[in-house]
Structure 1
Amino acid sequence: MKLIDVLTPENTVASAEGGSKKRVLENLSVFLTERMEGVNADDLYQSLLARERLGSTGIGEGVAIPHCRLAGCEKITGALVKLADAVDFDAIDGEPVDLIFALIVPEEQNDEHLQVLSSIAELLQDETVRNALRQASSDQDLFRIATGNDGD
């Protein structure tokens, strides 16, 4: 499964408000559930929070990959957000986070979940890619850089 299979231009935001880790997760939950049928924003928020309690999804270098499996989710759905201002995400390196790739997965898709998480982490561990994402000035640029696709 490729990134282009889980990320759409509509789920890509080049400048979003942050504030705090919880606010980011709350905003992501609302943002994603407006684009997903059969999924409640509070259920998604609670699932993302529960995953964070197991250990921060802040993987370092200003990147976080909040993710969860969720009842009612029909297909793997991603969102890529570049925050206007970095927030403390309890990342493993202690650095604030400004690039967030959220991933919501149907409960039964364990293997696909791990494959996509691995692909996202590999992409975002590339310094050149991170720098390019941080320089993106529009949602479309952010999407194109992340997926290698212009969204057309």
Structure 2
Amino acid sequence: MELSTIIRPAAVKVVANVSSKKRLFQDLGDIVASAYGLDGDAAFSALQDRESLGPTGVGHGVALPHARIEGLEEVVGAFVRIEKPLDFDAVDRQPVDLVFALFAPDGSGVDHLKALALVSRTMRDSSVCAKLRANEDPDTLHTILTESHATRAA
């Protein structure tokens, strides 16, 4: 599994300011609706439901919200770089500026976990995060995300 099969360039955005986690999840719903044709409201609700189980801020300014959506056929992702970091109730209490959201089919099981592990490994790489924070062009951000794992795997 490669990140290039999970996230399309159209699902990578830079936003200047997000006022709340709820607003971020609405933006992510809009992104996956536009990039993949998903129901944006269903994506938003699924993220909200998952987040109510516990925050998905994993530390070092990174959040990995994820949810299962009925009717989805494959695991897909969306990435947002926030210019003004957002309080996310992260484990280290640091605000979040890099958000990689995953959406998986309702009964995906192993594929969902593999995708989450891949994204987690990528976003734990401090050099990848530094490059993501240093760039504002969505195409460049997509390239950083999709090439970082591929070069390590080679």
Please indicate, yes or no, whether the TM-score normalized by the shorter chain is above 0.5: yes
Aligned amino acid, residue 56 of structure 2: T
Q: Is the 8 A contact 2:43 2:69 kept in 1?
A: yes
How many residues are treated as equivalent by the alignment?
Answer: 148
Aligned amino acid, residue 66 of structure 2: H
Equivalent residue number for residue 115 of structure 1? 114
Q: Is the 8 A contact 1:83 1:98 kept in 2?
A: yes
Q: Is the 8 A contact 1:56 1:91 kept in 2?
A: yes
Equivalent residue number for residue 87 of structure 1? 86
Q: Deviation per CA, 1:95-152: give whole Å up to 9, x if none.
A: 0000000111111211010001011111111111111110012011101111118xxx
Equivalent residue number for residue 151 of structure 2? none
Partner secondary structure for residue 121 of structure 1: helix
* Rounded Cα–Cα distance in structure 2 between residues aligned with 1:138 and 1:31: 16
What value does the CA root-mean-square deviation take over the aligned residues?
1.4
Aligned amino acid, residue 91 of structure 1: A
Mapped pair 1:24 → 2:20:
no
Structure 1: runs of 5+ lacking an equivalent: none
Give the CA deviation at 1:16.
4.7
TM-score relative to the length of structure 1: 0.92
* Rounded Cα–Cα distance in structure 2 between residues aligned with 1:18 and 1:36: 22
What pairs up with 1:68-87 in 2 under 5 angstroms? 68-87=67-86
Q: Percent identity?
A: 35
Mapped pair 1:9 → 2:4:
no
Equivalent residue number for residue 52 of structure 2? 53
- More helix per residue: 1 or 2? 2
TM-score relative to the length of structure 2: 0.91
